[in-house]
């Protein structure tokens, strides 16, 4: 298995993202376009980035200074746990309030209040488990 958030891992994540109607399909309906970076808490910069246009992942790559709309950080242990077990609404709320999941860039409050974005966000953790 490729290292979490490496170039290879991000490319496979993009492929799996696009196969999931509850993720890519749902976000396509609302014209969601964004650059989402992923990394480990305490590191200066994220490790990987996913570029999404109209719900579809068009690029999965190692982070190399690209502009981002979201920067999600957690410990490697927490990422691994969420990837293996998924993350529901309650778990997401707890992860955010206990600062196990940090949004260094992006508006968690706006995202979680919009079910058209929240449900696909939660689904993305399940999709990570397919990589």
Question: Domain-by-domain residue ranges, the chain?
Answer: 7-128
How many whole angstroms from its chain centre is CA 62?
14
3-state SS assignment for residue 114: coil
Q: What is the pLDDT of residues 16-69, one digit of tens each?
A: 999 999 999 999 999 999 999 999 999 999 999 999 999 999 999 999 999 999
> Going by C-beta distance under 8 Å and a sequence separation of 6 or more, which residues neighbour residue 59?
14, 49, 50, 51
How far apart CA 67 and CA 1 sit, in angstroms, is: 27
Q: What angle do CA 11, 54, 67 make, to 5 degrees?
A: 60
Confidence of residue 1 (pLDDT cuts 50, 70, 90): low
Question: What topology does CATH give the domain 7-128?
Answer: Nonspecific Lipid-transfer Protein; Chain A (3.30.1050)
Percent of the chain with pLDDT over 90: 80
pLDDT for position 73:
97
Cβ pair 25, 66 in contact under 8 A: no
Read off the pTM.
Answer: 0.93
């Amino acid at each position: 298995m490729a290292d979490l958030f490496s170039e290879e891992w991000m490319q496979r994540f993009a492929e799996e993202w696009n196969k999931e109607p509850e993720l890519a399909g749902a976000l396509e309906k609302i014209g969601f376009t964004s650059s989402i970076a992923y990394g480990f808490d305490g590191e200066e910069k994220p490790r990987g980035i996913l570029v999404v246009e109209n719900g579809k992942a068009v690029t999965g790559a190692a982070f190399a200074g690209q502009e981002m709309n979201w920067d999600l950080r957690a410990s490697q242990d927490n990422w691994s746990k969420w990837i293996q077990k998924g993350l529901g609404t309650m778990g997401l709320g707890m992860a955010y309030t206990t600062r196990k999941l940090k949004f260094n860039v992006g508006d968690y409050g706006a995202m979680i209040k919009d079910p058209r974005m929240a449900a696909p966000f939660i689904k993305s953790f399940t999709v990570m488990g397919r990589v």
